[in-house]
């Protein structure tokens, strides 16, 4: 069964438009409870700082309680914190109300199973099947109950701090922390301070409307300017729900998810703790693959989406993976992508090596990458159109070993994404335009 509502990371959309309404949230909770939560089971609900989070929190609570589930309300907390606490409280299901890096007008709902892992496509399809039926309300004696957990943030904060090596501290390290006015606005600064760092906060004053606005991992310009201005050692920027991280070196240069993977993988290779291949996605920069190859580290690509990175890591026995956007997964520390935990691992490498972040990333060069979006009126079978197939083969032959081509259909809109990557920026740009023109002609 094709999924109608679930995308690559839960259900997401503009608040007030289908499906992001209070009515839908209640029905979604009812369906999820029927599939995953037995009567008397427990559900955790956390959220980011969006104004609409109050509405969805109440709707989800009503849907779960009516279906017989007990609900623990955690309040604002990073997405990976919900995954962690779902296991800590032995809950059947963890629910996150967040639209991640999107503006505050959007919101979303995503789930973790009892092991703190994201749901499979098959389970999401089953929830959608049940969702076609009306929400249920059990008889009074079988209804669930709800209560708030005031200790949630502290528990997660202590867990994050525990992933930093016991024999190290952040004494003498000045960190500028950008919380995107989102879910990590308290946990981030307090964890870093607990470990000894001097913390200068940015984007840590949420008002319900300013999440991801001119701050965070998708807009790190203020962080880039601030780090060298205050002579900080490093900058850390999370996104709105705290599962992504982008860092800034002491000179104000951004360090993306691919570069962070390189830093972590090479450090673990050096100390003998790296297991399995490093896993990126089809969109990961070719420079990462080549840099890891020079270090004798195997690299594999998964489909776009951190859930698919996670699946590949588990299938191959790997522990380090992620996306260019900053979804960095350290399976030797936690079960899902965690921006703060990933940043702490990088800080540990800096402290142990005595090297600044700018020096740690020198072994990897980001290759020029040109991404063009071609809108289509209908879904195209990219591989089944001879003109597109021939154009791709020609471009690949021109790039040879120095680049690559990727065409993929968007999972959220009628768009074909045309990506060309290689060492020669001018060649990359020309080939991308040529391929986009062929796709546009085929789309009519």
Catalytic positions: 100
Altogether, the residues listed in the chain come to a count of 444
Tokens of 75: 């309040």
Six token digits for residue 405 = 């081509």
- 362 contacts 373 by C-beta, under 8 angstroms: no
Task: List all residues 6 or more positions away from 444 whose beta carbon is below 8 Å from its beta carbon.
Answer: 377
Whole-angstrom distance, CA of residue 290 vs CA of residue 356: 23
3-state secondary structure the chain: CCCCCCEECEEEEECCCCCCCHHHHHHHHHHHHHHHCCCCCEEEEEECCCCCHHHHHHHHHHHHHHCCCEEEEEEECCHHHHHHHHHHCCCCEEEEECCCCCCCCEEEEEEEECCCCECCHHHHHHHHHHHCCCCCCCCHHHCCCEEECCCHHHHHHHHHHHCCCCCCCCCCCEEEEECCCCCCCCHHHHHHHHCCCEEEEECCCCCCCCCCCCCCCCCCHHHHHHHHHCCCCEEEEECCCCCCEEEECCCCCEECHHHHHHHHHHHHHHHCCCCCCEEEECCCCHHHHHHHHHCCCCEEEECCCHHHHHHHHHHHCCCEEECCCCCEEECCCCCCCCHHHHHHHHHHHHHHHCCCHHHHCCCCCCCCEEEEEEECCCCCCHHHCHHHHHHHHHHHHHHHHHEEEEEEECCCCCEEEEEEEECCHHHHHHHHHHHHHHHHHHCC
Q: Could you tell me whether strands 106-113 and 245-248 are parallel, antiparallel, or unpaired per DSSP bridges?
A: unpaired
CB neighbour list of residue 54: distance below 8 Å, 6 or more residues apart: none
Pick left, alpha or beta for residue 416 (phi over 0 → left; psi -120 to 50 → alpha; otherwise beta).
beta
| Dist. CA 426–CA 424, nearest whole Å | 6
For residues 338 and 242, is the Cβ–Cβ distance under 8 A?
yes
């Amino acid at each position: 069964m094709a999924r109608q509502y679930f995308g690559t990371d839960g259900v997401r959309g503009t608040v007030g438009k289908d499906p992001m309404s209070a009515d839908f949230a209640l029905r979604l909770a009812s369906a999820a409870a029927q599939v995953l939560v037995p009567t008397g089971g427990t559900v955790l609900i956390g959220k980011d700082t969006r104004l609409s989070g109050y509405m969805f929190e109440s709707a989800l609570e009503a849907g779960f309680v009516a279906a017989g589930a007990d609900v623990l309300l955690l309040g604002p907390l990073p997405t990976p914190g919900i995954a962690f606490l779902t296991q800590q409280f032995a809950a059947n299901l963890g629910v996150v109300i967040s639209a991640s890096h999107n503006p505050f007008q959007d919101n979303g709902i995503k789930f973790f199973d009892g092991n703190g892992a994201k749901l499979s496509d098959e389970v999401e399809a089953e929830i959608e099947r049940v969702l076609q039926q009306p929400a249920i309300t059990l008889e009074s004696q079988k209804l669930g109950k709800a209560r708030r957990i005031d200790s949630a943030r502290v528990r997660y904060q202590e867990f994050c701090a525990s992933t930093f090596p016991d024999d190290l501290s952040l004494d003498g390290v000045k960190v500028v922390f950008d919380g995107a006015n989102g879910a990590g606005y308290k946990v981030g600064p307090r964890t870093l301070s607990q470990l000894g760092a001097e913390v200068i906060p940015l984007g840590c004053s949420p008002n319900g409307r300013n999440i991801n606005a001119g701050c965070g991992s998708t807009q790190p310009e203020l962080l880039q300017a601030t780090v060298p201005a205050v002579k900080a050692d490093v900058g850390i920027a999370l996104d709105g729900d705290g599962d992504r991280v982008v860092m800034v070196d002491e000179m104000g240069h951004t360090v993306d998810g691919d570069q962070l993977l390189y830093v972590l993988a090479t450090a673990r290779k050096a100390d003998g703790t790296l297991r399995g291949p490093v896993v990126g996605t089809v969109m990961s920069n070719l420079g990462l693959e080549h840099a890891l190859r020079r270090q004798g580290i195997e690299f594999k690509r998964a489909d776009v989406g951190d859930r698919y990175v996670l699946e590949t890591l588990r299938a191959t026995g790997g522990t380090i993976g992620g996306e260019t956007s900053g979804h960095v997964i350290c399976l030797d520390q936690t079960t899902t992508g965690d921006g703060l935990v990933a940043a702490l691992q990088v800080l540990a490498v800096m402290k142990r090596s005595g090297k600044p972040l700018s020096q740690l990333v020198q072994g990897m060069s980001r290759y020029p990458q040109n991404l063009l979006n071609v809108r289509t009126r209908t879904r195209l079978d990219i591989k089944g159109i001879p003109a597109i197939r021939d154009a791709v083969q020609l471009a690949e032959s021109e790039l040879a070993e120095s680049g690559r081509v990727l065409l993929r259909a968007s999972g959220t809109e009628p768009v074909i994404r045309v990506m060309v990557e290689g060492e020669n920026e001018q060649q990359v740009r020309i080939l991308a335009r040529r391929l986009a023109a062929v796709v546009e002609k085929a789309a009519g």
